[in-house]
């Protein structure tokens, strides 16, 4: 036994898979302590905030500041203001206004701005230009002007009693706030999703729920498959016929179709994560039953079982000590595969909108479902679905790697 | 064969065959009428054992001889009650055998035990040797004995088969050699002391040297405990040497039966004659090391 475990941990494939899986588990356990709170809390009011660190503007106004004179600060400010696209559009306008742009380089901010300020006039009407485009240029011009107008911004407030405008503070271009001095800073490494929820926190929670769904489904399927397979294989006769009759029926109906039908017939409010896990488990025991049965049939006529019978051992004892240990490694591998396919089945079901109800816990499948419903894939919000896909892939990759590793240890013909 | 020198110690058996005489006066301990075993149904049907009659007396060493696939193991398993009998009746100690419930089976197995063909697959590789031997003590009602007494019984059994108990404790069966495993199997039988022992080719998987030792132990069990031994073999020369009576089996049928001298010195069935002609030195004093 100890030897087998040592051998298992000498298989590189198993070790790699095990490490990936443990890393995922560890993250799942540790992350909620670093970032506690309800993963389904909507913190953002908009949808799909980009990944990054968010600093409260309100709090930064009053925060203590230091003054820095950084040479290219202005250029950077404009750089952020004008995207590459904006600059190309500016050049386009100049061209249409019959300005000679042959020597203009869009990368050179100063000359572009100089030329823009010199020639742009919102009154000039360019033939063929539609109103929306004209308005776009007006807006662009306004923001360029406001960025370059004054060196200081005044922050004012209105006294509610008198209606007087009070000047709160002045912010100069050279004022810098230390992020540590701002009361409210939130870090969203994966941004927010369509409901304005922290995607990373949700992903970690979903990962835990999905793995538990996989474990429950795998445990149910393996236990059921093992029990039926052992009974059918060892007892034979009418018990075997009876069990195989049901197994064959379930084999003919694709289990995913069955899964869809069952889940469809359960009301959405009653479909908790546990229920879904149970249903997945109850529809995927067939292959375990079949293969356990065939292994037991080949084992039951072995001499060591005969010897055990001749020693007067009872049926449960023979099954537990003479049959189970011989198929334990196989059952272990079947379990790992069932866990992996349970996780995938949940993801598929949720994508179809037949997963667990959406109000309690996130799951990997639900996250995908939400991202798809709010067309994250169309508006470029990759953070809402790509990390989820990556995690699903990593989990099933690590589980399958562990399985292959085990297979190589237990099945000597596969060893290199 | 140069085995001769190496096995000089085990040469108790190079003498002439030793038979027990008064067969007819001994009571029957196992007999059968029309015993048949059919595997499968329909087109894939195999008749492994076909209407076989037999009668074994107490303390007798009976050989069942036949080539591979003739149904010897199948017959043995039916006698042991490990597989069901398709047709026919088996009587145990004069009464029709009843093994319908697991309790009755357990009772039956106190009276009949086996040694299997392949020692390497006969033991559960997850159980230690102690477990194997302790199970036998428990089966014969020794569950309540003090531990020291059990150890003493195991030591005695190991001593009988030339194994050292101290070297075996905490070992697994697969850590032994084939011959040692087969001797462990005999130690089991020694502890259980059944009335009948079915030995299914106990020596076919081990070398000639261990073979003589094992045969010697079987004969000792017969002589000292009075066990009836059913010795299954494909080797008619060996059967002639050790057995009191011989059954010849061909394609599931018994084609000839009688005392060893009758069957082998004056064979009637053509199949028996062929089997005998395949053994070159049958009429010379038998040297087991060349078997
Ligand atoms: N479980 C089984 N199912 C179907 N057929 C079987 C089964 N066991 C044995 N047979 C068939 O019964 C016949 C007799 O087999 P058996 O094992 O009794 O032969 P044997 O005389 O012991 O041979 P060997 O000397 O090789 O051990 C063979 O033709 C075999 O194919
Ligand atoms: Mg056989």
Return left, alpha or beta for A158; rule: phi > 0 is left, psi -120 to 50 is alpha, else beta: beta
Apex A234 CA angle, A232 and A236, nearest 5: 55
Q: Which residue of A has its CA nearest to B172?
A: A1
Instruction: Please tell me which of the candidates B106, B116, B124 has its beta carbon nearest to residue A312.
Output: B106
Are A142 and A229 members of one domain? no
Q: What values do phi and psi take at A369, rounded to 5?
A: -60, -45
Question: Are B80 and A310 inside 8 Å of each other by CB?
Answer: yes
For A77, half-sphere exposure in the C-beta direction (CA atoms, 13 angstrom radius) is 15
Within a domain: residue A50?
no
Q: Are A212 and A366 in contact (CB under 8 A)?
A: no
Return left, alpha or beta for A339; rule: phi > 0 is left, psi -120 to 50 is alpha, else beta: alpha
Kindly report, residue by residue over A234-259, the tens digit of the pLDDT.
988 899 999 999 999 988 888 888 88
Total domain count for chain A? 2
What residue has token string 């070398």?
A: B207
Residue with CA nearest ligand 1 atom 17: B73
For residue A161, what is the DSSP state? T
Q: Are A190 and A200 in contact (CB under 8 A)?
A: yes
Kindly report, residue by residue over B44-63, the tens digit of the pLDDT.
889 999 999 999 998 899 99
Question: Are B82 and A309 inside 8 Å of each other by CB?
Answer: yes
Ligand 1: residues with CB < 6 A are B 39-40, 46, 48, 66, 68-74, 234
Supply B99's token pair.
Answer: 């093994």
- Residue B120: pLDDT band (50, 70, 90) is confident
Q: What is the mean pLDDT of residues B228-253?
A: 90
* A272: β partners: none
Are A79 and A169 members of one domain? yes
d(CA A257, CA A263): 10
For A20, half-sphere exposure in the C-beta direction (CA atoms, 13 angstrom radius) is 18
d(CA B91, CA B71): 20
Are A179 and A231 members of one domain? no
* Closest to A394 (Cα-Cα) out of A7, A19, A98, A40: A19
Q: Are B65 and B235 in contact (CB under 8 A)?
A: yes
Are A344 and A272 members of one domain? yes
* B49: β partners: B37
User: Percent of chain A having pLDDT more than 70?
Assistant: 97
Question: Are A321 and B113 inside 8 Å of each other by CB?
Answer: no
* Closest to B49 (Cα-Cα) out of B24, B62, B66: B66
Are A75 and A141 members of one domain? yes
Residue that is last in its domain, among A183, A210, A241: A183
Residue that is last in its domain, among A157, A183, A209: A183
Per-residue confidence (pLDDT) for residue B174, from 0 to 100: 82
* Residue of higher predicted confidence among A394 and A124: A394
Kindly report, residue by residue over A317-328, the tens digit of the pLDDT.
999 999 998 898
Per-residue confidence (pLDDT) for residue B4, from 0 to 100: 42
Distance between Cα B96 and ligand 2 center (Å) = 26
What residue has token string 């970032």?
A: A35
* Residue of higher predicted confidence among A416 and A4: A4
Per-residue confidence (pLDDT) for residue B1, from 0 to 100: 37
Instruction: Provide the H-helix boundaries in A170-272.
Output: 199-235, 237-252, 255-265
d(CA A262, CA A401): 31
Q: What is the dihedral of CA B124, B127, B132, B134, to 10 degrees?
A: -160
CATH number at residue A224: 1.10.3720.10
Q: Report the mean per-residue pLDDT for chain B.
A: 85
Report which bound ligand comes closest to the CA of B49: 1
* Closest to B107 (Cα-Cα) out of B127, B94, B92, B86: B92
- Residue B17: pLDDT band (50, 70, 90) is low
Distance between Cα B117 and ligand 2 center (Å) = 7
Are A111 and A208 members of one domain? no
- Contacts of residue B32, Cβ cutoff 8 Å, sequence gap at least 6: B52, B53, B54, B55, B79, B88, B89, B90, B91
What count of residues does chain B have? 291
Domain ranges of chain B: 3-111+195-277, 124-193
- Interface residues on A facing B, Cβ-Cβ cutoff 8 A: 302-304, 306-315, 321-322, 325-326
For residue A50, what is the DSSP state? P
ipTM of the complex: 0.87
Question: Are B121 and A303 inside 8 Å of each other by CB?
Answer: yes
Domain assignment of residue A76, given as a range: 57-183
Nearest chain A CA: its distance from B184 CA (Å) = 13
Supply B12's token pair.
Answer: 């108790």
Are A279 and A236 members of one domain? yes
Within a domain: residue A107?
yes
Most A-contacting residue of B48, B126, B132, B201 (CB-CB within 10 A), to test interface: B126
Are A391 and A254 members of one domain? yes
Coil/strand/helix, residue B64:
strand
Are A316 and A393 members of one domain? yes
- Superfamily of segment(s) B3-111+195-277: P-loop containing nucleotide triphosphate hydrolases (3.40.50.300)
d(CA B83, CA B40): 13
* Closest to A202 (Cα-Cα) out of A70, A4, A373, A43: A43
For A220, half-sphere exposure in the C-beta direction (CA atoms, 13 angstrom radius) is 18
Kindly report, residue by residue over B183-229, the tens digit of the pLDDT.
999 999 999 999 999 999 888 877 777 788 888 888 888 888 889 99
Question: Are B121 and A314 inside 8 Å of each other by CB?
Answer: no
Cβ neighbours, 10 Å, residue B79:
24
Q: Which residue of A has its CA nearest to B103?
A: A312
Are A286 and A406 members of one domain? yes
d(CA A354, CA A271): 9
H and E: helices and strands count for chain B: 12, 10
Are A171 and A247 members of one domain? no
Q: In this structure, is the dihedral angle defined by the CA atoms of residues A137, A138, A139 and A143, taken in order, positive or negative?
A: positive
Residue with CA nearest ligand 1 atom 8: B74
Kindly report, residue by residue over A361-379, the tens digit of the pLDDT.
899 999 999 999 998 888 8
* A172: β partners: A152
Q: Are B33 and B60 in contact (CB under 8 A)?
A: no
Give the H or E element holding residue B55. strand B46-57
Burial class for A30, CB neighbours closer than 10 Å (0-12, 13-18, 19+): exposed
d(CA A268, CA A58): 42
Kindly report, residue by residue over A161-193, the tens digit of the pLDDT.
888 888 888 888 888 999 998 989 999 999 998
- Contacts of residue A322, Cβ cutoff 8 Å, sequence gap at least 6: A299, A304, A305, A308, A313, B124
User: Percent of chain A having pLDDT more than 90?
Assistant: 42
Are A178 and A278 members of one domain? no
Per-residue confidence (pLDDT) for residue A401, from 0 to 100: 94
Q: What values do phi and psi take at A313, rounded to 5?
A: -75, 150
d(CA A394, CA A278): 24
Q: Are B198 and B114 in contact (CB under 8 A)?
A: yes
Burial class for A389, CB neighbours closer than 10 Å (0-12, 13-18, 19+): middle
Residue that is last in its domain, among A161, A183, A205: A183
Instruction: Please tell me which of the candidates B82, B102, B106 has its beta carbon nearest to residue A306.
Output: B82
**For chain A, how big is the Rg over CA atoms in Å?**
32
- Residue B10: pLDDT band (50, 70, 90) is very low
User: Percent of chain B having pLDDT more than 70?
Assistant: 89
What residue has token string 């199997």?
A: B185
Instruction: Provide the H-helix boundaries in A120-156.
Output: 131-149
- β-strands B28-39, B253-259 pairing: unpaired
């Amino acid at each position: 036994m100890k030897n087998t475990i040592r051998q298992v941990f000498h298989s590189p494939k198993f070790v790699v898979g095990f490490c990936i899986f443990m890393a995922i588990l560890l993250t799942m356990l540790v992350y909620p302590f670093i970032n506690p709170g309800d993963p389904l809390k909507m913190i953002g009011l908009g949808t799909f905030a980009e990944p990054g660190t968010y600093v409260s503007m309100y709090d930064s106004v009053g925060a203590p500041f230091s003054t820095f004179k950084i040479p290219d600060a202005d250029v950077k400010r404009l750089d952020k203001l004008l995207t590459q696209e904006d600059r190309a559009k500016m050049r386009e306008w100049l061209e249409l206004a019959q300005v000679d742009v042959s020597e203009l380089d869009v990368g050179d901010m100063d000359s572009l701005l100089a030329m823009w300020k010199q020639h742009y006039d919102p009154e000039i009407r360019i033939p063929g230009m539609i109103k929306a485009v004209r308005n776009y240029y007006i807006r662009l011009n306004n923001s360029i002007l406001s960025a370059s107008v004054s060196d200081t911004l005044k922050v004012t407030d209105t006294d509610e009693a008198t209606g007087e405008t009070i000047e709160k503070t002045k912010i100069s271009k050279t004022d810098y706030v230390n992020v540590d001095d701002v009361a409210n800073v939130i870090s969203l490494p994966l941004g927010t999703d369509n409901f304005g929820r922290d995607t990373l926190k949700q992903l970690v929670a979903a990962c835990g729920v999905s793995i538990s769904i996989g474990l429950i489904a795998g445990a149910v399927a393996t236990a059921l498959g093992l029990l039926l397979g052992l009974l059918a294989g060892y007892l034979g006769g009418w018990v075997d016929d009876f069990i195989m009759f049901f197994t064959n029926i379930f084999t003919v109906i694709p289990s995913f179709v069955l899964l869809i039908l069952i889940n469809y017939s359960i009301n959405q409010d009653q479909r908790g994560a546990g229920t879904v896990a149970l249903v997945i488990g109850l529809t995927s025991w067939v292959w375990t039953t079949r293969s356990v049965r065939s292994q037991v049939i080949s084992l039951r006529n072995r001499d060591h079982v005969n010897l055990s019978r001749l020693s007067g051992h009872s049926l449960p004892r023979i099954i537990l000590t003479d049959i189970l240990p011989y198929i334990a490694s196989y059952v272990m591998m079947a379990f790992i595969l069932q866990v992996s396919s349970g996780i995938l089945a949940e993801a598929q079901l949720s994508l179809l909108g037949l997963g667990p109800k959406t109000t309690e816990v996130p799951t990997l499948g639900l996250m995908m479902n939400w991202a798809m419903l709010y067309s994250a894939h169309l508006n470029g919000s990759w953070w809402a679905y790509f990390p989820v896909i990556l995690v699903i892939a990593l989990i099933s990759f690590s589980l399958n790697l562990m399985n292959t590793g085990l297979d190589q240890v237990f099945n000597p013909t596969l060893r290199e | 064969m140069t085995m001769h020198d190496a096995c000089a110690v085990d040469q108790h058996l190079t003498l002439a065959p030793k038979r027990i005489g008064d067969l007819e006066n001994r009571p029957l301990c196992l007999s059968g009428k029309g015993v048949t075993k059919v595997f499968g149904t329909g087109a894939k049907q195999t008749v492994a054992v076909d209407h076989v009659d037999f009668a074994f007396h107490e303390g007798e060493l009976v050989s069942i001889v036949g080539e591979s696939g003739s149904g010897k193991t199948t017959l043995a398993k039916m006698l042991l009650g490990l597989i069901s009998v398709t047709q026919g009746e088996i009587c145990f100690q004069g009464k029709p055998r009843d093994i319908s419930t697991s309790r009755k089976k357990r009772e039956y197995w106190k009276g009949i035990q086996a040694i299997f063909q392949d020692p390497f697959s006969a033991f559960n590789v997850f159980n230690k040797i102690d477990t194997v031997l302790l199970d036998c003590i428990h089966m014969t009602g020794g569950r309540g004995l003090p531990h020291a007494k059990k150890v003493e019984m195991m030591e005695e059994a190991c001593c009988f088969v030339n194994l050292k108990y101290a070297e075996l404790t905490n070992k697994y069966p697969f850590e032994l050699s084939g011959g040692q495993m087969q001797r462990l199997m005999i130690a089991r039988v020694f502890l259980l002391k059944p009335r009948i022992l079915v030995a299914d080719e106990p020596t076919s998987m081990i070398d000639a040297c261990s073979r003589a030792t094992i045969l010697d132990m079987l004969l000792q069990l017969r002589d000292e405990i009075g066990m009836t031994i059913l010795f299954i073999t494909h080797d008619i020369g060996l059967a002639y040497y050790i057995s009191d009576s011989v059954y010849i089996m061909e394609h599931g049928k018994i084609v000839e039966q009688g005392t060893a001298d009758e069957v082998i010195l004056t064979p009637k069935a053509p199949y028996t004659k062929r089997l005998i002609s395949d053994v070159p030195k049958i009429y010379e004093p038998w040297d087991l090391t060349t078997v």
